[in-house]
Structure 1
């Protein structure tokens, strides 16, 4: 396998920008914090000395660093002592209801829902990235779906 070179012009940011930003937004519920995490993740990517073996390796690394950066944010004194501003993000009525319901879930459930539905990740891949047992991921997904079903009152059959 050849190593993937880390050049800014190779499209890594363009290819993975949405994934990193949306995961950060899902975890932090704040566009400002998500933008900060986004910048930190790509700064770490371009300053790291890791030799990536494939695009999947890069994706997994970026997801793991995004989760680590958001976890680090949650432990700061600034985060614990401030009240977040409400972000007004435009969605259709149906998207807004689902989005709000997902954001109301506890962090661990938001994360697995995001990775499963938005990043189309398998349970085994989530287990590796989150460093959690597969059975725990399955339980969290099951509980998250049950909570969403209650919140959405069973209106959407695909939840």
Structure 2
């Protein structure tokens, strides 16, 4: 892949890769590592003839795989994240922070489905293809995530 094509891919899809990595790893430093690794792997690919959607799908699938690698590594070697130290936390919009804090407490499979559906705008069929699961599984994960979020945030029956 050429440097210009890599720069274009980073400009067009870098935000989605980083947001997905952040959603999965729950750690900005790990998300940055995933971002860097994913685009380094893209640079090493013979991806000159890929269209934009194929590139985006490949990048997101690679990000999911790299996040899984990091998760397996962390299980063997736990670390303290800088975000866990309160004085280093950045102030954010309280309503959005409460929602995304609740999303962060969801199990990884549900959290990933929520992120890809709501933050990235993917359809359930596209998410299914990215994650290698049936579309019905994605819809089930989204439904379960909504129910858990409703419990976590104290929603009413008709909300």
Q: For this structure pair, what is the TM-score category when the shorter chain's length is used for normalisation? A: 0.7 to 0.9
Per-residue deviation, 1:6: 4.2
Q: CA RMSD in A?
A: 2.0
Q: Which residue of structure 2 aligns with residue 37 of structure 1?
A: 34
Q: Which residue of structure 2 aligns with residue 116 of structure 1?
A: 117
With structure 1 as the length reference, what TM-score do the two structures score?
A: 0.87
How far apart, in 1, do the equivalents of 2:51 and 2:77 lie?
A: 41
How far apart, in 1, do the equivalents of 2:90 and 2:135 lie?
A: 33
How far apart, in 2, do the equivalents of 1:145 and 1:52 lie?
A: 39
Q: Which residue of structure 2 aligns with residue 12 of structure 1?
A: 9
Per-residue deviation, 1:7: 3.2
How far apart, in 2, do the equivalents of 1:38 and 1:108 lie?
A: 20
Corresponding residue pairs, total: 152
Is the 1:112–1:141 contact (alpha carbons within 8 Å) kept by the matching residues of 2? yes
Deviations 1:113-144 (A, max 9, x none): 00000110001101111000111111101000
Q: Which residue of structure 2 aligns with residue 66 of structure 1?
A: 63
Relative to its length, the structure with more helix (as a share) is 2
With structure 2 as the length reference, what TM-score do the two structures score?
A: 0.87
Q: Which residue of structure 2 aligns with residue 135 of structure 1?
A: 136
Name the CA shift for 1:152/1:82 in 2 (closer, same or farther; >3 Å): same
How far apart, in 2, do the equivalents of 1:11 and 1:50 lie?
A: 13
Per-residue deviation, 1:80: 2.9
1:46-57 to 2 correspondences below 5 Å: 46-57=43-54
Is the 1:28–1:70 contact (alpha carbons within 8 Å) kept by the matching residues of 2? yes
Per-residue deviation, 1:47: 0.8
Deviations 1:60-114 (A, max 9, x none): 11110000000111112x5532133252243211011011001000000110000
